[in-house]
Amino acid sequence: MTTHVRLGVNVLASGRHDAAWKTLPDAATLSTDIDAFTRIARVAERGRIDALFLADGPGGLVEESHTRPWRALDPVTLLAALSQSTDHIGLVATTSTIFGHPYTVARQIASLDHISKGRAAWNIITSQTPVALAAYGLDHGFSQEDRYQRAREFAEIVTGLWDSVPQEAVVADAARNVFVDPARLRPIDVRGRHFTAKGALSATVPPQGRPVIFQAGQSEDSKAFGAAYADALFTGQRTLAGGQKFFADVKALARANGRDPSQLLVMPGLFPILGGTEAEALKRKAELDEGLDIAFLHGELARHFGLDPDDLPLDEVLPFDRIDAAESGVPIASRWPRAQILSEARPRGWTARQAALSNIIGGHRMVVGTPDKVADDILHWVDTGAADGFNLNIDVQTSGLEDIVDHLIPILQARGRFRRDYEGTTLRDHLGLDHFQAGATRGHLSVPLQPALRTGTGD
Ligand SMILES: Cc1cc2nc3c(=O)[nH]c(=O)nc-3n(C[C@H](O)[C@H](O)[C@H](O)COP(=O)(O)O)c2cc1C
């Protein structure tokens, strides 16, 4: 049976291309303009897209933000507003397990699920950029092991809290003057190395039973964590072979955890630039690229490789031996972009200029061409076991999204590979994920915490 492709839209108000903002008259205010986000949400919903995906850089602007608009608004707040101007599309909010407390996140995402009537998702990230650490008053980050231990404790508490107030507990019995029956609550009592939480959430079990959990990461620890806790993985894969390996690895991990692998979706990022003909698409990219600051991108490329820009002459093939030799000096935040860029640059023998112009800030794979070419690419990845769908990066908002909705989606629909209308009302419905029964959450978690961690829960 051929399956439908899952498609999210990775939302940035101006678009993903780093020079998109230079083509937009209102760029200075777009990132805080609810009307701009509403326009994007409505076009995406017209295209029957599964979900709007809001990445986030906790703690403020990231280092490169002085060259382009960045993510300004708090994702949960923004998505709650967008839920009121849309009816179907899913709403994915990114929050980190490094900063803040899980009770806050459990409450925020449960609230979003109630407010949107079952369209919320939590995208778990574990990043700890220096900017974010500084903003939260931390003078150092956590070790890799601690980052994922923290993430596990965080996810245990969040999912336990989502499950802690079954609707049946709210008896609203006026005659007996009993509103909530405490005996029917399922309070948690989690004591971890990083987080402790006791009690029940303020809100009843969310409409989806459990809001969808996305997770974004790349390392082996990240895969193991995602295969235990997530419903969908957002990943960056620039080559088909790399995508197939990631897909096979995480599906195997899900299976090893006793999970149905079809219930763990893999959605790499994809950055299409469309044109009516191949030449038109290349022209669109070339015109946008004219707005890029090549010296800045050259510097970023060198930084990701732990080298000096002088080591990477722009129009010479990248010095792969030298790049490999410098690997140990690469900053942590550059590990993912470095691996991404090299996976594509090495087999293609790219020059530094080609690499610098390949979306090194956003990171995701670019496909430049006609809607037919991009549709073929998407289906090839899905049909050869590299993806269940994609998180689409839009070159310029909203023209790029309109091109996708008006020209790419109809091709996928005509091939019977994308919905013509939403099948249901919740994000779980759109993604083909099972509905969670209240009370089932804990049974689902397949990687138990250390025995000492969870004590006396309401199981
Ligand atoms: C596809 C993808 C998307 C990510 N999105 C974000 C994001 O929105 N904000 C953020 O701070 N970190 C983001 N990250 C970073 C991850 O949360 C994590 O810090 C990074 O992958 C390094 O951890 P790892 O080596 O264990 O994978 C993303 C990573 C990937 C692979």
Note the pLDDT tens digit of each residue in 180-232.
Answer: 999 999 999 999 999 999 999 999 999 999 999 999 988 899 999 999 999 99
In the predicted model, is pLDDT for residue 455 greater than 90? no
Separation in Å, CA 247 to CA 112, 221, 232: 29, 15, 11
Closest atom, ligand 1, to C-alpha of 125: 17
In the predicted model, is pLDDT for residue 450 greater than 50? no
pLDDT mean over 89-115: 97
What is the per-residue pLDDT across 14-49, written as a single tens digit (0 to 9) for each?
999 999 999 999 999 999 999 999 999 999 999 999
pLDDT mean over 379-403: 98
Span from the CA of 55 to the centroid of ligand 1 (angstroms): 9
Closest atom, ligand 1, to C-alpha of 55: 8
**Of the candidates 377, 312, 378, the residue with the CA atom closest to the CA atom of residue 350:** 312
Separation in Å, CA 58 to CA 81, 129, 134, 420: 20, 8, 11, 36
Q: What is the pLDDT of residue 224?
A: 96
Q: What is the pLDDT of residue 65?
A: 61
User: Rounded to an integer, what distance in angstroms lies between the CA atom of residue 373 and that of residue 63?
Assistant: 34
In the predicted model, is pLDDT for residue 339 greater than 60? yes
Q: What is the pLDDT of residue 1?
A: 54
Q: Are strands 170-173 and 232-235 parallel, antiparallel or unpaired?
A: unpaired
Hey, where are the domains in the chain? Answer: 6-274+365-444, 293-356
The Cα angle at residue 119 between residues 14 and 92, in degrees rounded to 5: 40
Q: What is the pLDDT of residue 336?
A: 83
User: Rounded to an integer, what distance in angstroms lies between the CA atom of residue 208 and that of residue 436?
Assistant: 6
The protein residue whose alpha carbon is closest to atom 1 in ligand 1 is 235
Span from the CA of 223 to the centroid of ligand 1 (angstroms): 12
Which mutation among 12, 152, 336 tests ligand 1's pocket best, with the greatest number of atoms within 8 A of CB?
336
What is residue 362's DSSP assignment? T
Q: What is the pLDDT of residue 165?
A: 97
- Contact (CB, 8 A) for 435 and 428: yes
The answer for 286, left when phi > 0, alpha when psi is -120 to 50, beta otherwise, is alpha
Separation in Å, CA 105 to CA 45, 97, 123, 211, 218: 26, 9, 11, 12, 23
Cis omega (within 30 of 0) for bond into 398: yes
Percent of the chain with pLDDT over 70: 93
What is the per-residue pLDDT across 424-445, written as a single tens digit (0 to 9) for each?
999 999 999 998 765 554 433 4
Span from the CA of 126 to the centroid of ligand 1 (angstroms): 7
- Contact (CB, 8 A) for 169 and 184: yes
pLDDT mean over 49-76: 82
pTM of the entire structure?
0.94
Q: 3-class DSSP state for residue 268?
A: strand
User: Rounded to an integer, what distance in angstroms lies between the CA atom of residue 409 and that of residue 417?
Assistant: 9
Band (pLDDT 50/70/90 cuts) for residue 457 is very low
User: Rounded to an integer, what distance in angstroms lies between the CA atom of residue 360 and that of residue 292?
Assistant: 12
User: Rounded to an integer, what distance in angstroms lies between the CA atom of residue 245 and that of residue 250?
Assistant: 9
Span from the CA of 113 to the centroid of ligand 1 (angstroms): 24
Q: What is the pLDDT of residue 332?
A: 76
What is the per-residue pLDDT across 286-336, written as a single tens digit (0 to 9) for each?
999 999 999 999 999 999 999 999 999 999 999 999 999 999 989 877 888
pLDDT mean over 90-113: 97
In the predicted model, is pLDDT for residue 454 greater than 50? no
Span from the CA of 217 to the centroid of ligand 1 (angstroms): 5
Closest atom, ligand 1, to C-alpha of 234: 1
Percent of the chain with pLDDT over 90: 85
| Best CATH choice for the domain 6-274+365-444 from the list 3.20.20.70, 3.20.20.30, 3.90.1150.10, 3.40.1280.10 | 3.20.20.30
Q: What is the pLDDT of residue 447?
A: 37
Return mean pLDDT, the chain.
92
In the predicted model, is pLDDT for residue 449 greater than 60? no
Q: What is the pLDDT of residue 370?
A: 98
Span from the CA of 153 to the centroid of ligand 1 (angstroms): 18
- Contact (CB, 8 A) for 302 and 295: no
Which mutation among 218, 246, 338 tests ligand 1's pocket best, with the greatest number of atoms within 8 A of CB?
218
Closest atom, ligand 1, to C-alpha of 128: 19
pLDDT mean over 47-64: 81
Q: Are strands 265-274 and 232-235 parallel, antiparallel or unpaired?
A: parallel
Band (pLDDT 50/70/90 cuts) for residue 379 is very high
Q: What is the pLDDT of residue 2?
A: 62
Span from the CA of 336 to the centroid of ligand 1 (angstroms): 8
pLDDT mean over 53-81: 83
Rounded to 5 degrees, φ, ψ at 351 are -80, 170
In the predicted model, is pLDDT for residue 362 greater than 60? yes
Band (pLDDT 50/70/90 cuts) for residue 448 is very low
Span from the CA of 357 to the centroid of ligand 1 (angstroms): 21
Span from the CA of 374 to the centroid of ligand 1 (angstroms): 25
**Of the candidates 271, 252, 268, the residue with the CA atom closest to the CA atom of residue 260:** 252
The protein residue whose alpha carbon is closest to atom 8 in ligand 1 is 55
The protein residue whose alpha carbon is closest to atom 21 in ligand 1 is 217
Band (pLDDT 50/70/90 cuts) for residue 67 is confident
Burial class (CB in 10 A: 0-12, 13-18, 19+), 85: middle
What is the per-residue pLDDT across 243-281, written as a single tens digit (0 to 9) for each?
999 999 999 999 999 999 999 999 999 999 999 999 999
Closest atom, ligand 1, to C-alpha of 124: 17
Span from the CA of 125 to the centroid of ligand 1 (angstroms): 6
Handedness of CA 443, 7, 30, 98 (dihedral sign): positive
Ligand 1 binding pocket (C-beta < 6 A) is 55-57, 94, 125-127, 216-219, 221-222, 234-236, 269, 335-336
Which mutation among 63, 125, 234, 265 tests ligand 1's pocket best, with the greatest number of atoms within 8 A of CB?
125
The protein residue whose alpha carbon is closest to atom 17 in ligand 1 is 125
Span from the CA of 340 to the centroid of ligand 1 (angstroms): 12
Q: What is the pLDDT of residue 61?
A: 58
pLDDT mean over 52-68: 75
